Amino acid sequence: MPARVTISGLATNVKSVLAARYYFRCATSVGARVRVYGRPAVKNEGVMRIGDRVRLLSTIATSQIEVGPEGELDIGDSVVMSFGCSIGVTKLIRIGARSRLGPYVMMMDSDFHCLEPERRLERPPSQPIILESDVWIGTRAMVLRGVTIGYGSVVGAGSLVIRDVPPRTLVAGMPAKVIRSF
């Protein structure tokens, strides 16, 4: 049986595609059929590439994406980012195709300041964050600088990822530890 398209469904679809063009107007490139729901905060001073069929939700809580002057953000095809996500890029963050980011996920490739009180105005070097294809990141998880999450891996809700995650692995906890491989 063919799917029915309602007028309100069509209007929502058109509105989300137009919203994507508006909110990603500062992006270097935007793929086909990208959709934005809600009102995200998007700032790009570097390179921002958005793949085909990406969906960004910013309905219940504002999603934030900021790319600094020397930063590069690559979002692969068919990525879904839920509401409240926060991505800060000073060097490189790459999100692989078909990855899913749950609500309130945070990714930052820089610590933005040193720990010592006399050096707090200094910015330490950034390290890239790489999410390979088909990665799922659970609600309120945080991924810090220098981390690569392997193909098909899952990060449990509320986890703090400070080390690389092997492919096809479930990690969870603070800091995130391997629970099992699949």
pLDDT one-digit tens code per residue, 37-79 = 999 999 999 999 999 999 999 999 999 999 999 999 999 999 9
**Model pLDDT for residues 99-139, shown as the tens digit of each residue:** 999 999 999 998 877 778 888 888 888 999 999 999 999 99
pTM exceeds 0.85:
yes
The residues that are catalytic are 113
Which residues have C-beta within 8 Å of that of residue 53, sequence separation ≥ 6?
A: 31, 32, 33, 34, 77, 78
Q: What are phi and psi of 121, to 5 degrees?
A: -85, -5
What's the distance, CA 176 to chain centroid?
Answer: 18
Omega prior to 117 cis, within 30 of 0 = no
**What b/e readout covers 3-20, taking b as 16+ CB neighbours within 10 angstroms?**
eeeeeeeeeeeeebeebb
